[in-house]
Chains A and B, each alone.
Chain A
Amino acid sequence: MNHLSAAVDWLLDAQTWTGPGQLGARATEHLGYTAVAVLIAAVIALPAGLAIGHTGRGRAAAVLSSGAVRALPTLGLLTLAALAAGVGLVAPLIALVVLAVPSILAGAYAGVESVDRATVDAARAQGMNAWQVLWRVEVPLGLPIVIGGLRLAVLQVTATATLAAYVGAGGLGRPLFLGLRTYDYPMMLGASLVVILLAILLDACFEVVQRLLSYAPGLARTGRLREAR
């Protein structure tokens, strides 16, 4: 427990947080990586996932790819990208996007598929075109699951962004690895606690959004997409 109190002391020290390269800046970096990676992944995966869910085409490939990525070790992906793209920001970002895409893709197509076929059928029978069926029926009704996919992606990316420091990027992994290399246990423990807190906070935000959505009448019950991180 000595380490813990030392870690708390370290965390409570104003010096730990302020200034460039300190914890405040690192946390911002960490959130920045997460946001950029998830955003890029969403731009790729949301349209693709919605299209797969709507048309039913390409589903097998999507299922296969998300299964394969689940088995892919994140550290391996990260180091491979770093060796290929060089030390810096690009490599981790590529790895993070690759990790985030399958979750978002799966959420998008599972969300669309979760909508009762009879409802979709009725919407078509009323004279909605494909685009209207997608945006007025399938997307709003499948939204909780689509957001579940984003939630999972954010979770995975936040966790893996910690490893990004191993290949030379910033983020909260920086003080963690620094503490690891210099046997500064309070520092690495403190940094770990901050990462855990950040991850739980982000996840809690999604929890709140999904809870709010579950009060919206008529929406599918919030399904938390469960997959490997």
Chain B
Amino acid sequence: MIEFERAGKTYPDGTVAVGEFSLRIPSHTTTVLLGSSGCGKTTLLRMVNRMVDPTSGRVLIDGEDVAQEAPVALRRRIGYVMQNSGLLPHRRVIDNIATVPRLTGMPRGAAHERARELMRTVGLDSGLARRYPGQLSGGQQQRVGVARALASDPNILLMDEPFGAVDPLVRMELQRELRRLQTQLRKTILFVTHDIDEALALGDQIVVLQPGGQIAQAGTPEEIVAAPANDFVARFLGLDAGRRSLRARPQPGGGWLVSDAGGRPLGVLPDDPAREGPG
């Protein structure tokens, strides 16, 4: 479990990145911090592995204040995935994945064995092991990034807009893969994004943030879509523009055509009463 206790970050020049933030993140669940740029979501994420130290309040992992831990050791037991993967361009895929096990002193052979196993886990062809990151597609790079973060078998996975730089189709595929991985691995995931659909697709808990790290609303995806706490949340989700108020019209051949409030088609709902409708 990760707990933020009135954590805040003010930079020496007086900029307040995060005012005062409190949140409890249960183990083995995915929590999404959702907000536009400048809302402090990355700062919050980085407080967990001490890439940023809060100037007030504290962050606890399983009841222990992270400030008591040496940053380097802490980071080695927390997985971190970032946008544009952050892979080391001069190391082969297999060595990139083996980074943390090698740092913690695992012998090369064992670390590579572990890395190969992880490549299978994240759905990477083993033929890519000897490639360099620059020789991979964006989607493959992100998979390597995820594999690297999992290498030390951390309990916690921090993900900072990991799929932000890949094209929409690949992004959806990666999201699907992450959901599959999560049912299998059951990590405590803290995921940062500005993409509402991504948040709805991945989060067990979604925290909508306003500038300065203010929580606008925290809840399950259903709660947030069904009952936005205020105008800010509604606007952020596109509820006010009718993007998520759906209409279904019967189709001549059976089934329903679903469109949003503006009349733009979103998809087709089959005539099967056993299936759940979209939304």
Contact = CB atoms under 8 A, between A and B. Distances in A.
Decide if A and B touch, CB cutoff 8 A.
yes
Interface of A: 116, 118-119, 121-129, 132, 136-137, 140-141, 216-219
26 contacts: A118-B82, A119-B87, A119-B89, A121-B82, A121-B86, A122-B82, A122-B85, A123-B86, A124-B51, A125-B49, A125-B80, A126-B100, A126-B103, A127-B75, A127-B76, A127-B100, A127-B103, A128-B72, A128-B103, A141-B88, A141-B90, A217-B135, A218-B90, A218-B91, A219-B89, A219-B90
Q: 10 tightest A-B contacts by CB?
A: A122-B86, A218-B89, A127-B76, A127-B75, A218-B90, A217-B132, A125-B80, A129-B72, A127-B72, A126-B99
B72 A217 contact: no
A122 B84 CA distance: 10
Contacts of B49: 125
Interface string B95-119: 0000110010000000000000000
Given A126-B148, A217-B134, A119 B88 contact: yes
B270 to A, nearest CB: 44
Residue among B90, B99, B103 facing the most chain A CB atoms (10 A cut-off):
B90
Interface in B46-83: 49, 51, 72-77, 80, 82
Contact of A118 (B51, B73, B86): B86
A129 B104 CA distance: 12
A125 B133 contact: no
Given A126-B76, A127-B74, A128-B103, 14 more contacts: A118-B82, A118-B84, A118-B86, A119-B87, A121-B82, A124-B75, A125-B158, A126-B100, A126-B103, A128-B72, A217-B89, A218-B133, A218-B134, A219-B90
A128 B75 CA distance: 8
Nearest to B91: A218
B123 to A, nearest CB: 21
Contacts of B51: 121, 124-125
A140 B82 contact: no
Contacts of A121: 51, 82, 86
Residue among B76, B85, B103, B158 facing the most chain A CB atoms (10 A cut-off):
B103
Nearest to B92: A217
A129 B73 CA distance: 9
Contacts of B89: 116, 119, 141, 217-219
Number of chain B interface residues as a range: 20 to 34
A133 to B, nearest CB: 10
Interface in B121-139: 132-135
A132 B88 contact: no
A132 B84 CA distance: 21
Contacts of A129: 72
B157 to A, nearest CB: 12
Contacts of B99: 126, 128
B52 to A, nearest CB: 11
Contacts of A219: 89-90
B118 to A, nearest CB: 14
Contacts of B73: 127
B90 A216 contact: yes
B61 to A, nearest CB: 15
A219 B103 CA distance: 22
B108 to A, nearest CB: 14
A135 to B, nearest CB: 12
A106 B132 CA distance: 29
Contacts of A122: 80, 82, 85-88
A217 B148 contact: no
Nearest to B152: A127
Residue among B49, B77, B89, B132 facing the most chain A CB atoms (10 A cut-off):
B89
B145 to A, nearest CB: 8
Contacts of B134: 217-218
Contacts of A119: 86-89
A181 B173 CA distance: 80
